[in-house]
Chain A
Amino acid sequence: MSIAQQILTCSRFACRSVPINSRRRFCTSQHIMMSRHTHTKRIEGLDQNVWVAFTSLAADPSVVNLGQGFPDIPPPSYIKEGLAKAASEDRMNQYTRGFGHPSLVKALSQVYGKVYGRQIDPFKEILVTVGGYGSLFSTMQALVEEGDEVIIIEPFFDCYVPMVRMAGAKPVFIPLRLKPGKKTITSADWFLDPDELSSKFNSKTKAIIINTPNNPIGKIFTRDELQMIADLCIKHDTLCFSDEVYEWLVYKGHQHIKIATLPGMWDRTITISSAGKTFSVTGWKLGWSIGPEHLTKHLQTVMQNTLYTCATPLQEAVAQGLVLNYELMGQPECYFTSLAEELEVKRDRLATILQEAGMTPVIPEGGYFMLVDVTSLNLDLSHITDDEAYDYKFVKWMIKEKKLAAIPVTAFVGDESKKQFEKYIRFCFIKQDSTLEAAGNILKNWAKS
């Protein structure tokens, strides 16, 4: 092909495919460039995201939003004041220690030292990250790679799967199963089958991820259940990544237990927490990983090669909030307990609202979400031909027609379990009473029609 012909083909291609930027002097074929500059293999198939899809749908101010998990109740005033105060200090506006602001890691060491009943080294056994998300990411990048398998319990917080896959590993699923025949269902009625769980472990299993209290079901794993998981971890020499961001949101009659405190587990567990969930400040994006030095040091390596350090004034404010509540631990004014009490009332209110509307809620033992079975509403959505699970169609329909937002639960399960969970949707109840009542009105009218 002569040069003239090449240029002609090139420019024809460019003309048809994209509007010509008049500033271009060279004939650059957008087509050739895009095929050369595609994404890396590590993000193959990871571009979809339930939050990106549903947050914009629910953003319409006329929609009552019980979807994404963030409070519309204010955080404690001292936490905001702490941030304002920190921001007014010169050095608090500049870089701090990469692995965690000293006053924060010291405060964490204090609080968690008490909770774990062991000395936790603030500099070697703690890493401060950008939210619980950042902790999960640092953990995966540090400890998981191609050839590894990671066991994930369904339903799971949706980011676990893309993070495992981005690390090059294979997710292996095991669903929580519902004990049949109960009239009022709670999250405690969902259990792991011991034989089924055991069958998922093999020599390639690098880690199991657990989330307790669980999002979206609200299950709090019992000591026996955690022991069963621990026994398998020890037997198969596997790590445990324990996502405990809702650790303080535990309702009456239940107790949050840290798997890292079980015998043999400290050395193989990374525990993940969140300031956003602890202090109702999800927009601060601070979290932390706690674990033994021989694991934490690899998370620190990832940190120093990804974003290096977290925001200073935010860390200072969280440190102060922790110190304040450490003094109050065990007392009713402690935010770690008072928030749970406040939420228990909302939990019960939402459950009642849902039951009155003819739905079957799964009463959570912890966390701030409630799963609801919508089968009894008998909503026929067969006219919607999109290739989506029932719950996705249901939620989109509900947002559009009823102006009420929730999150479809099949976003939290693997393909093989979709049928098992597609009649469930997830509501978030860390909302103002007025928001819950508004939802109640919508559901009441719906039940009538």
Chain B
Amino acid sequence: MGVIKNLAASLIVIRQSSFRNNHKIIMSRRLHARRTDGVDKNVWVEFTQLAADYKAVNLGQGFPDFSPPQFIQDAFCKAISGGPQMHQYTRGFGHPPLVKNLAKFFSRIVGHDIDPLEDILVTVGAYQALFCAFQALVDEGDEVIIVEPFFDCYQPMVVMAGGKAVYVPLRPREGSTVLSSGDWILSAEELASKITSRTKAIVINTPNNPLGKVYKTEELQMIADLCIRHNLLCISDEVYEWLTYDGAKHVKIASLPGMWERTVTIGSAGKTFSATGWKVGWVISSGHLIKHMKTIHQNSIYHCATAAQEAVAHGFEREYEMFGNPESYFKQLPAMLHHKRKKLASCLQSVGLQPIMPEGGYFMITDISSVKVNLNDQSNTDEPFDFRFVKWLIKEKGLATIPVSAFYSPEHRKEFDKYIRFCFVKEDSTLDAAEDILRKWSQQE
């Protein structure tokens, strides 16, 4: 026994000294923090790379391939050539002109006097707003209810905050032909059954990514009732708030009675002004919740870029004046997208696919269970069907989409692996190119 111990000890010494001599120390201790366990995979990193590698016609990741409106580009240029202070630090919690304009604009909509300095935090995109909300409000052991399908980052953010994600799915209404996102509903009983004494918050996204559902007032009231009864917070991701079609109306749950003080509403300049690369977002909520998010923000990145905030401030000033006017970008953008949505839907239907018409947002999901194709992939039969299908579609047909099971919990992924998501916020030429690919493919069958 002693001999073996000595041998083992010598081996360790030899290993350590040879490492040192080669200056190739790989640390013997565990390096990464536990909070990064299990959150390293990311559908965007994987599929954006693939789409780029294969130069696919990209209806995958959600960003416009057309330019932001002229007035916002002009505002950015003006900011860039503005005084020296445009290139230096601004107020950490949000550039004063921006928070003032956001407060003015949204007070009118929410029906509550929003304090620009206390009730708003500007963040690096809605992504960072979500991060601040989870980090500020979700503690170890807290449960967070997430409505499926969900924008994929909610789950790893809850996990990273030490919380436990509890899922409740939107389900197609009994007996309907499931042709619209409006046919997917949340059961009040099922939702109520998920609430425990550890439940801290519920996360909703309206208009929803990927389904496109726009929650109606009654549906939000049902959720609000539960929040109030059980003293829950509500995190409401409303980045697509201006994009509603066919008369669907976006309703802010924060405007319902008793909800202002318990709702965290998240918005995005990127989605609002078709400038996703600017990464300017915000949280609007009651000051007593915002102050905790400010603490996270001041201890993580502290400031957001000044010039971009200045430009967005101008954008909101213009839209405040134009509100309700046909020239308002908040009317023009959904009108433009309405036509693209129709175009994509017809294209998918013409090749025998079944799209679910979204009431709002950037995306359309399609049932692919009728598609007969030999995926020929020896590698990953462990992966859900839609993941494998999307990869095949990129590699073999040069068309990029996103697998919808990426928006479901690990527990439910296998049940919902027959849908893929298309983004239609693209130039008509991109949509035409996609149509060509799909037509050729269906003709080959």
* A contact residues vs B (CB 8 Å cutoff): 21, 23-26, 28, 30, 32-34, 36-43, 46-47, 49, 51-52, 55, 68, 70-75, 80, 83-84, 87-88, 90-99, 129-131, 133-134, 137, 141-145, 159, 162-163, 166-167, 234, 237, 239, 263-264, 266-268, 280-285, 294-295, 297-298, 301-302, 304-314
Q: Could you tell me the distance between the alpha carbons of A341 and B100 in the complex, rounded to whole angstroms?
A: 40
Chain A residues whose CB sits within 8 angstroms of the CB of B34 once the complex forms: 145
Q: Could you tell me the distance between the alpha carbons of A131 and B279 in the complex, rounded to whole angstroms?
A: 14
Contact A80 B80 (CB under 8 A): yes
Q: Give 19 pairs: A residue, B residue, CB < 8 Å, sorted on A.
A: A23-B112, A70-B89, A87-B76, A93-B68, A93-B274, A93-B277, A96-B277, A130-B124, A134-B300, A142-B33, A162-B299, A283-B87, A285-B124, A285-B301, A294-B31, A301-B32, A304-B44, A311-B278, A314-B305
Q: Could you tell me the distance between the alpha carbons of A150 and B84 in the complex, rounded to whole angstroms?
A: 37
Which of A23, A94, A131, A167 is B277 in contact with, Cβ under 8 Å?
A: A94
CB of B168 within 8 A of chain A? no
CB distance from B22 to the nearest CB of A (A): 9
- Count chain B CB atoms within 10 A of each CB in A39, A134, A137 and give the residue with the most: A39
CB of B368 within 8 A of chain A? no
CB of B233 within 8 A of chain A? yes
Contact B307 A131 (CB under 8 A): no
Contact B77 A87 (CB under 8 A): yes
Known contacts: A40-B137, A87-B73, A95-B63. The answer to whether A307 contacts B301 by CB under 8 A is yes
CB distance from A63 to the nearest CB of B (A): 15
Contact B44 A137 (CB under 8 A): no
Contact A39 B136 (CB under 8 A): yes
Contact B261 A28 (CB under 8 A): yes
Known contacts: A25-B258, A47-B291. The answer to whether A40 contacts B301 by CB under 8 A is no
Chain A residues whose CB sits within 8 angstroms of the CB of B80 once the complex forms: 80, 83-84, 87
Contact A310 B257 (CB under 8 A): no
Contact B307 A83 (CB under 8 A): yes
CB of B170 within 8 A of chain A? no
CB of B27 within 8 A of chain A? yes
Contact B32 A142 (CB under 8 A): yes
Chain A residues whose CB sits within 8 angstroms of the CB of B307 once the complex forms: 83, 283-284
Contact B124 A142 (CB under 8 A): no
Contact B33 A141 (CB under 8 A): yes
Given pairs A23-B257, A306-B128, 15 additional interface contacts (CB within 8 A):
A40-B139, A43-B136, A47-B291, A47-B294, A87-B73, A88-B77, A141-B33, A143-B33, A239-B27, A283-B303, A298-B31, A298-B33, A308-B44, A308-B153, A312-B278
Known contacts: A305-B160, A308-B44. The answer to whether A40 contacts B136 by CB under 8 A is yes
Contact B124 A307 (CB under 8 A): yes
CB of B298 within 8 A of chain A? yes
Name B284-341 residues within 8 Å CB distance of A. Answer: 288-289, 291-292, 294-296, 298-308
CB of B276 within 8 A of chain A? yes
Q: Could you tell me the distance between the alpha carbons of A309 and B42 in the complex, rounded to whole angstroms?
A: 13
Q: Could you tell me the distance between the alpha carbons of A26 and B298 in the complex, rounded to whole angstroms?
A: 35
CB of B370 within 8 A of chain A? no
Chain A residues whose CB sits within 8 angstroms of the CB of B33 once the complex forms: 141-145, 167, 298
- CB closest chain-A residue, reference B61: A95
CB distance from A438 to the nearest CB of B (A): 16
- Identify the 5 closest CB pairs spanning chains A and B, nearest first: A312-B277, A283-B306, A145-B33, A39-B292, A307-B128
* B contact residues vs A (CB 8 Å cutoff): 20, 23-29, 31-36, 39-40, 42, 44-45, 48, 61, 63-68, 73, 76-77, 80-81, 84-92, 111-112, 123-125, 127-128, 131, 135-140, 153, 156-157, 160-161, 228, 231, 233, 257-258, 260-262, 274-279, 288-289, 291-292, 294-296, 298-308
CB distance from B52 to the nearest CB of A (A): 8
Chain B residues whose CB sits within 8 angstroms of the CB of A285 once the complex forms: 124, 301, 303-305
- CB closest chain-A residue, reference B258: A26
CB distance from B291 to the nearest CB of A (A): 7
Contact A301 B25 (CB under 8 A): no
Known contacts: A167-B33, A305-B131. The answer to whether A75 contacts B87 by CB under 8 A is yes
Which of B123, B231, B292 is A36 in contact with, Cβ under 8 Å?
A: B231
Contact B86 A283 (CB under 8 A): yes
Chain B residues whose CB sits within 8 angstroms of the CB of A131 once the complex forms: 301-303
Contact A301 B36 (CB under 8 A): yes
Chain A residues whose CB sits within 8 angstroms of the CB of B262 once the complex forms: 33, 37
Chain B residues whose CB sits within 8 angstroms of the CB of A294 once the complex forms: 26, 31
Contact B27 A268 (CB under 8 A): yes
- CB closest chain-B residue, reference A59: B91
CB distance from B57 to the nearest CB of A (A): 15
CB distance from B309 to the nearest CB of A (A): 9
Q: Could you tell me the distance between the alpha carbons of A34 and B292 in the complex, rounded to whole angstroms?
A: 12
Which of B25, B90, B298 is A49 in contact with, Cβ under 8 Å?
A: B298
- Count chain B CB atoms within 10 A of each CB in A93, A95, A294 and give the residue with the most: A93
- CB closest chain-B residue, reference A97: B48
Contact A40 B292 (CB under 8 A): yes
Q: Could you tell me the distance between the alpha carbons of A28 and B225 in the complex, rounded to whole angstroms?
A: 12
Q: Could you tell me the distance between the alpha carbons of A239 and B29 in the complex, rounded to whole angstroms?
A: 11
Contact B299 A263 (CB under 8 A): no
Chain B residues whose CB sits within 8 angstroms of the CB of A52 once the complex forms: 92, 298
Q: Could you tell me the distance between the alpha carbons of A142 and B124 in the complex, rounded to whole angstroms?
A: 19
Q: Could you tell me the distance between the alpha carbons of A83 and B40 in the complex, rounded to whole angstroms?
A: 32
Known contacts: A141-B33, A281-B88. The answer to whether A267 contacts B257 by CB under 8 A is no
Q: Could you tell me the distance between the alpha carbons of A30 and B42 in the complex, rounded to whole angstroms?
A: 39
Contact A95 B276 (CB under 8 A): yes
CB distance from A72 to the nearest CB of B (A): 6
Q: Could you tell me the distance between the alpha carbons of A167 and B257 in the complex, rounded to whole angstroms?
A: 37
Chain B residues whose CB sits within 8 angstroms of the CB of A137 once the complex forms: 299-301
CB distance from B329 to the nearest CB of A (A): 14
- Count chain A CB atoms within 10 A of each CB in B27, B45, B299 and give the residue with the most: B299
Contact B64 A42 (CB under 8 A): no
Contact A310 B36 (CB under 8 A): no
Chain A residues whose CB sits within 8 angstroms of the CB of B275 once the complex forms: 93-94
- CB closest chain-A residue, reference B91: A55
Known contacts: A46-B299, A90-B67, A298-B32. The answer to whether A25 contacts B257 by CB under 8 A is yes
